[in-house]
Structure formats: C-alpha cells, structure tokens
Amino acid sequence: MKLYTYWRSLATLRVRIAMNLKGISADTEIVDLQAGHQRKPEFHAVNPQMVVPALVLDDGGPILFQSMAILEYLEETHPAPALLPKDPRGRARVRGISQITVADTHPLVVPRIREYILKDLKLDEATLAAWIKHWTTAGMRAVEENLAGIPQTGVYCHGDSVTLADVCTVAQAIGYQLFGNDLGQFPTVKRIFDTCMAQQAFASAHPAKQPDAPKK
C-alpha cells in the first residue's frame, strides 16, 4: 500500500489517524502542496483531481481517492477496531458529524481555494485570513452544537469508543489550531480533542510529527 501525503494535509491526517488506530502501515510518497507539486503531470496521472490523500493498493487496481471513501474502505477491510457504530442511526450520526468537516468546512480552506482567493480574485492576505476564520469557526461551532448536551455524546463524539466522527473532528481541530485559532470556545470539542490527543494513534499522526514537516 502507498499513501500519497503532505504533512499539513488535513484530509490525509484523517487517513493517518484511522490507519494508526487499525494498525495498518503503508509506504508514503510526499506531494509538496506548498510547492504546487500536486499539479505535476506525474501526480496528475496518479490522481486526476490533484489532491491528497490518494491510496495505492497492492492489487494493481485504480487508486483510492477522497478521504471519506478511503476511511470507509479501511473500515470495511479492517473492521477492528470498529470506527462506525453497529446501529444504522448511530452510523448516520457519526457520518453526519464527520461530513460537517469533510464536506462543508475543510473544502473551503484547501490550498487551491486559498490560491484562487489570492491570485485570481486578487484579494489580500487579511481578507483570506478572515475567510478562513469565518468558515472554520462556523464548522467547529456546528460540530460543537451537535455534540454538547446530546445524550449520545460520550467520552467521544458518539459513545465511549472512537469513531470516524472523532477522526474527522480531531483532524479539523488540529487544522483550526494550525490556522492560529483556539479551541477554547468549543468545550465539548476541546474535551474530546484532549482525550484523543493523549493517545498515540492520534498524537503520532499530527502534522508536526511528519517527516516532511518544517524542522522548527
């Protein structure tokens, strides 16, 4: 298995956490997003969408792309530990919490969107920073309000074992911090974040721990 990755990629971070939780290892190939290497012909041939993560399986078939599809694939092929509840209603809640981040928050702040805002729309860095803060805060608030005071919320986002909702929420919370924001205004997210980050599977997946992360 080979995972195309970049240290700061939040979508790849989700996959790294899930692989750690399930004890799955993969070779890695770094795609330097800051340098624009996702647009090189070599990577375009791997993933026509020119984004990471992309997961190459050993069976020679087409790559897996889109982190949520990869997470579901890992869940189906490596069922233990389970990252989805058994009951359909619980699964829907976990997927819903995950999608707040994956479908509605993270896509607004990925490099190609940030570059479009700066280079094509010619807006300035301060406007971009306001855009990022607005949408990432709205996403965090939506997650917080779906967790706080809800009986199904437990030690983790859903009950007392880790699910994909934690994987996606923690990855987004790390991104929120990388963009210079504080989780303090989201006490339930913060509590779950702290619980997860005390575990090796989450902590070792952190962007700063990746080999291609800046050294300082």
36: left (phi over 0), alpha (psi -120 to 50) or beta: left
Nearest C-alpha neighbor of 165 from the set 149, 177, 176, 154: 154
Is 110 a residue that touches ligand GSH (CB under 6 A)?
yes
Tokens 């006490």, residue? 187
> In the range 50-89, which residues lie near ligand GSH by CB under 6 A?
51-53, 66-68
Considering only 28, 38, 146, 163, the residue that binds ligand GSH (CB under 6 A) is 38
In angstroms, rounded to a whole number, what is the distance separating the alpha carbons of residues 195 and 201? 12
Considering only 3, 5, 9, 170, the residue that binds ligand GSH (CB under 6 A) is 9
Which string of x and - marks every residue 86-105 that binds ligand GSH (by CB under 6 A)? Answer: ----------------x---
Is 46 a residue that touches ligand GSH (CB under 6 A)?
no
- Minimum CB–partner distance for residue 160 and ligand GSH (Å): 27
In angstroms, rounded to a whole number, what is the distance separating the alpha carbons of residues 131 and 129? 5
| Per-residue DSSP letter, 49 | T
Which residues contact ligand GSH by CB under 6 A?
Answer: 9-11, 33, 38, 51-53, 66-68, 102, 107, 110-112
